[in-house]
């Protein structure tokens, strides 16, 4: 475990990743923005620390030796954890994002990522949890989806890949991609995790 505390008023970020390079890169950027950073190379150490003293936000790798990020989400009861948990993964497929969000992750970030983008998304998450006002998606736009787009959206939120969704609906995976892009634009979703969260919050 690596710690760099900067006082009780500083927002604290827990970074859980078995790769030192990832922990270091994210740590440097967060510290430059005034955050306090604590790094963990495995899930067990993180769980012990998080239960004793929850941080302001968690960045959690999905693939690690021992407990995976998905297992940690279950163990910590992520939907009821007091702060947002971001999952990072080298696999940015829809089913993985869906599973992470359903297990309580706040957002899903695909590797390789730009560290400054991660900081921006974390800052937005902390604003929401801090009660700051945000526009959020306009759920009225559900009415703007075509019947086919609703079929595709149902497949996506059920965790189907583009190939599986195409097979289930009798259309090509490429056509599924086109529909998904239109759905995300209409619902104001920036990524797969955002799309799933919008649908779940509006159901």
Q: Which pLDDT score is estimated for 115?
A: 83
Q: Which pLDDT score is estimated for 1?
A: 61
Under DSSP, is residue 57 helix (H, G, I), strand (E, B) or coil? strand
Q: Which pLDDT score is estimated for 28?
A: 94
Q: Which pLDDT score is estimated for 157?
A: 80
Q: Which pLDDT score is estimated for 196?
A: 77
Domain ranges (residues) in the chain: 2-129, 139-202
Q: Which pLDDT score is estimated for 19?
A: 93
pLDDT in tens, the chain (203 residues): 655 544 445 799 999 999 999 999 999 999 999 999 999 999 999 999 999 999 999 999 998 988 999 999 999 999 889 888 998 887 766 778 778 878 888 888 888 888 888 888 888 888 776 644 444 444 455 778 888 888 888 888 888 888 999 899 888 888 888 888 889 888 888 877 778 777 776 65
Which class is domain 139-202? Answer: mainly alpha
Kindly report the CATH number that applies to the domain delimited by 2-129.
3.40.50.2300
Q: Which pLDDT score is estimated for 101?
A: 79
Residue pointed to by tokens 């021992």: 66
The model scores a pTM over 0.75 = no
């Amino acid at each position: 475990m690596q710690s760099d505390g900067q006082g009780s008023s500083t927002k604290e970020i827990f970074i859980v990743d078995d790769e030192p390079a990832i922990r270091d890169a994210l740590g440097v950027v967060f510290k430059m923005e005034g955050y306090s950073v604590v790094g963990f190379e495995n899930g067990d150490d993180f769980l012990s620390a998080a239960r004793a003293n929850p941080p302001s936000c968690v960045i959690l790798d999905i693939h690690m030796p021992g407990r995976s990020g998905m297992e940690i989400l279950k163990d910590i009861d992520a939907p009821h954890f007091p702060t947002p948990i971001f999952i990072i993964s080298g696999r940015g497929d829809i089913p993985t994002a869906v599973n992470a969000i359903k297990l309580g992750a706040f957002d899903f970030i695909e590797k390789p990522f730009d560290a400054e983008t991660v900081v921006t998304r974390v800052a937005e998450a902390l604003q929401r949890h801090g009660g700051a006002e945000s526009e959020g998606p306009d759920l009225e736009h559900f009415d703007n989806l075509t019947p086919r787009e609703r079929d595709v959206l149902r497949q996506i939120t059920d965790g189907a890949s583009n190939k599986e969704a195409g097979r289930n609906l009798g259309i090509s995976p490429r056509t599924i991609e086109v529909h998904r892009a239109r759905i995300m634009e209409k619902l104001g979703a920036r990524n797969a995790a955002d799309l799933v969260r919008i649908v779940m919050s509006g159901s």
